[in-house]
Amino acid sequence: MKQPIAGDERVAIIAHDDAQAIAAFVERVWSEDGLADRTLEAYRQDLEGLARWLATRGRSLAAASREDLSSYHASQPVSVRSMARRQSSFRRFYAHLARNEPSRENPTLLMQRPKTPRGLPKALAEREVEALLGAPDAGTPLGQRDRAMLELMYASGLRVSELVELSLGNYNPRQGVLRVTGKGGKDRLVPVGQVAQEQIDHYLSTVRPLHLKPGPRPDPLFLSVRGQGMTRQMFWTIVKRHAQAVGILARRVSPHVLRHSFATHLLNHGADLRALQMLLGHSALSTTQIYTLVAREGLKRLHAEHHPRG
């Protein structure tokens, strides 16, 4: 058997402090952002790979410099996408360290980011969305709550953070609109739609009171069974569970996919791009224009499947 050579990062042991720092970082981004297990594991593997490489050079994650990171990238020939993902992991990790210690120097700040081809947002077919919206059991309080949240997510194109942070005061049932606070603290008014409004009104009158606990009344629009506001992770789990129940592969669906589906389906049915920009809360039209490519790809597939000379 071939013996490992000295300085080989593949067999280097991660320092105890580095292992603790990685675990604390993964726990933090899970609790704050509700990221998928696959994303968390990618962060962990990227950071452990860097920690092993640094260990062979007598360095630690906390003491790594920009030159260390550049040397590490140069020693690891990978695809542009993999390089971009690693840099993203490192940027988030060192931002996390700097957040705990503001005086700490962040070695990723001046690193040049690799240019990656822009991928198209993934959207569900309209029939898949219909199946997903019908998945919750309307005969149970939790099913009624889940249905209201899913209907609202698809009807309004909200970000998951915007959905779970909605308060009772954000919803105007008389006008059928939401006041949503998006990125950068910018407010926008978003129409709810008739079906979603019916589901929300039913939830507010019959289900939400069941989840209220003694004491001060909570402000969030949607409550957990403990009477507290929903979290991103909770809603992510809800979406996955109902998607699997109707046969949609877990890797194809997430709360953000509902937002992409909202935008793509509106464009497919003739929505104006500027109006869509306002509904999504994009600061730049160029961000919204990516959905025109999604709609175009859908039309090409439709033509190929159904045209006699497709």
**Catalytic residue numbers?**
159, 183, 256, 259, 282, 291
Contact 206, 217 (CB under 8 A): no
Give the C-alpha separation, 53 to 64, whole Å.
11
Contact 129, 258 (CB under 8 A): yes
Ramachandran angles phi, psi of 223, nearest 5° = -115, 150
Q: Pick from 179, 144, 142: which is nearest to 162 by CA? A: 179
- The first and second tokens of residue 209, run together, are 């009171």
**How far from chain centre, in Å, is Cα 292?**
21
Is the four-CA dihedral 222, 227, 231, 236 of positive or negative sign? Answer: negative
Give the C-alpha separation, 157 to 153, whole Å.
6
